[in-house]
Structure 1
Amino acid sequence: MNEATLDWAGRIAEAELGEALPRRWAHSQGVAARAAELGRLLGRDAELLAAAAILHDVGYAPRLTLTGFHPLDGARFLRDEHGTDERLTRLVANHSFALLEAEERGMREELATEFPLLDDPLLVDALVYCDMTTTPDGGRTTAQERVTEIVGRYGADSVVGRFIRRAAPEIFSCVERIEAALAVQPR
């Protein structure tokens, strides 16, 4: 990954989300801002995280919605239309415990086979941290407040509500691990 990739990712995300879904675009920009703060933790993977952060919700774009499951729709778009780096595509496909949501939707096997979870716990945790500490409008929040907001927005018995409640303990653990790593990192 390099800075040109990061610029490309921002242009793609803005083109797909900016006008059609301005609130989702604001969230994506906020997630990318959190990612920029984690650069010292990730070293050479900092740009990869930033690109995944800005693109993680691209699958919500109306023209890309094929399955209705945004991680899968976004990853397929990046792979098929842009030939995106496999690690980036897999991060987008699996962001914030998407496999659990895929299971709720009867799509776990499809997601896991097509886009296997990246074997890089720090990078995976970092993307969860960035997404789950950012409000829908791009501001900062706690993971607990974010999970509560998602359940409230979608409803506790919805697919998303069930998934996020199942994922909450893992989300909180990811956030705690990143916060602990940040606390011991030199500034």
Structure 2
Amino acid sequence: MNGTLTKWACQVAEAELRKPLPRRWAHSQGVARRAAELTEVLGNDSDLLASAAVLHDVGYAPRIAVTGFHPLDGARFLRDIHAADGRLVRLVANHSLALLEAEERGLRDVLEAEFPLPDDQGLVDALVYCDMTTTPHGDRTTAKERVAEISGRYGADSVVGRFIRRAAPEIFAAAARVEASLAAQPR
């Protein structure tokens, strides 16, 4: 995590999350550490991934949360307040299959109109992998354990519970694609 964009992203995420939401900050740092492990796979996009990783939950920050849907709130904050790179903003807006949760919340049309899904499936998969293999405390886990943890924390009948149940097959598929890319790298 030493690119210029990543340094800026870490400063923004820390300023918004560290004091009001220390657990979210720990998770975001863990997700960024996972992103750093993908440098060989992503090459030129590794700084972008690390930046999206550390900022993906910035929309939870109390002063930023407007709609209560953190991918949308975070992306709007990055776009409107920081004039952040468009690819970065779209990754934050669409992290971890956010379109499915937006649908559960009646916000899919809004999210799609403002922040279209990024074209680079490998980058989208990488962010899903980093987020969904990191615990709320920033530790490593498996995608299956993380999905179960989210479902248990929010409850199966909650908006997030319904979303995570729908998203699970694609989360697992994205994680498998990234793990296959990692395994194919020369050691």
| TMscore range, shorter length | over 0.9
Could you tell me which residue of structure 1 aligns to residue 76 of structure 2? 76
Give the drift of 1:4: 1.5
Q: Deviations over 1:11-62 (max 9, x none)?
A: 0000000000000000000000000000000000000000000000000000
For the residues of structure 2 that align with 1:180 and 1:41, how far apart are their CA atoms? 10
1:42 aligns with 2:42: yes
Greater helix fraction, Structure 1 or Structure 2: 1
Could you tell me which residue of structure 2 aligns to residue 184 of structure 1? 184
* Structure 1 stretches of 4+ moved >3 Å: none
For the residues of structure 1 that align with 2:39 and 2:160, how far apart are their CA atoms? 30
Could you tell me which residue of structure 1 aligns to residue 57 of structure 2? 57
Give the drift of 1:5: 1.2
Report matched runs for 1:139-158 at 5 Å. Answer: 139-158=139-158
Matched residue count? 186
TM value normalised by structure 1 = 0.99
Could you tell me which residue of structure 1 aligns to residue 109 of structure 2? 109
Q: Root-mean-square deviation (CA), in Å?
A: 0.7
TM value normalised by structure 2 = 0.99
Give the drift of 1:121: 0.5
For the residues of structure 2 that align with 1:134 and 1:97, how far apart are their CA atoms? 16
Could you tell me the percent identity over the aligned residues?
A: 74
Structure 1's unaligned 5+ residue stretches are none
